Amino acid sequence: MSRRPVPHRPALAGVLLTVLAASGCGISALGAAPAATAPSTRATAPSTRAIAPSTRATAQVVPAAAPTATTGRTAANPTPAATTRHTAAKPTPAATRTVRPGSAVVTLATLTIKGRAPRTGYDRALFGQAWADVDRNGCDTRNDVLRRDLTHLTLKADTHGCLVLTGTLADPYTGRRIDFVRGRGTSNAVQVDHVVALSDAWQKGAQRWSTTTRTAFANDPLNLLAVDGPTNQRKGDGDAATWLPPRKAGRCAYVARQIAVKHRYTVSVTAAERDAMLRVLTTCPTQPLPH
């Protein structure tokens, strides 16, 4: 499929600088000097099992003007300064769209930008057993994800509540409702997608990992979503520069999840990939990282 034209990169970098300027967050990854009071985007070291930054929203307080009298009373003929303390200032567009430290757009600026390495040597087997029971709960990763993402489940008897027989998926990629029925010729209607594809990770850092780390990556619930099977096949191993979900309302969450995964495992992004992510996040600058 044809690729979307990529705008001039300095212009995109300027957009990110403008978005982050509202919160005072520096972006050294883009070559901009951080402000003296800029909060660190890496204050908490990323865990290999959890995303450190909080995704809870924070309220911005707009300070009122100081009173003109030390008693705090309103003057008989109040000046604009005296009346302002009793009326909240109207938020500016920048104030209402403040970027939070730890949000997807801030974390994007911390990712290493690097060219894609050759796919040479990639093999699915290098990422360990497919759908291994890495959390040792007695159930394989695929069924763990199906139980998490599907509703109206029926489970196979005598599998300790593990094996999903049927369920309903609200597909995050298309917005369609899909009825899952386990069986030959029907199971593939719902597939479990690696949000950051294994071969994409291989070309951007995973070739240097241990087998243990690659197995953890391939089975990490953060990097897995139950999705529409045919749509997943069309995605292939594309990154954000070559593929985004057809449902535009789901793109912010999708890109944020890719950023969270790449941040957790120190997977690099290409310049084109970073630019594509930025184009999405300019529509949702406060998009949080998923857990």
Tell me: the pLDDT tens digits for 230-287?
999 999 999 999 999 999 999 999 999 999 999 999 999 999 999 999 999 999 999 9
What pLDDT does residue 41 have? 40
Rounded to 5 degrees, what are φ and ψ at 165?
Answer: -95, -45
| Residue that wins the pLDDT comparison between 68 and 236 | 236
Residue 173 has pLDDT above 90, yes or no: yes
Digit-coded pLDDT (tens) for 74-91: 444 444 443 334 344 343
Q: Using an 8 Å Cβ cutoff, are 243 and 255 in contact?
A: no
What pLDDT does residue 131 have? 96
Mean pLDDT, residues 20-39 taken together = 43
Buried b (16+ CB within 10 A) or exposed e, 280-291: bbeebbbbbbbe
What pLDDT does residue 20 have? 55
Instruction: Please give the DSSP secondary-structure letter assigned to residue 103.
Output: B
Q: Using an 8 Å Cβ cutoff, are 78 and 97 in contact?
A: no
Buried b (16+ CB within 10 A) or exposed e, 129-167: eebbebeeeebbbbbbbbbebbeeeebeeeeeebbbeeb
Distance CA 196, CA 94 (A): 32
Query: What percent of the chain is predicted at pLDDT more than 90?
Result: 65
- The whole-chain average pLDDT of the chain stands at 78
What pLDDT does residue 102 have? 80
Both tokens of 29, joined, read 């990854």
3-state SS record for 12-38? HHHHHHHHHHCCCCCCHHHCCCCCCCC
Digit-coded pLDDT (tens) for 3-20: 444 444 545 555 555 555
Q: Work out the number of other CB atoms within 10 angstroms of the CB of residue 72.
A: 8
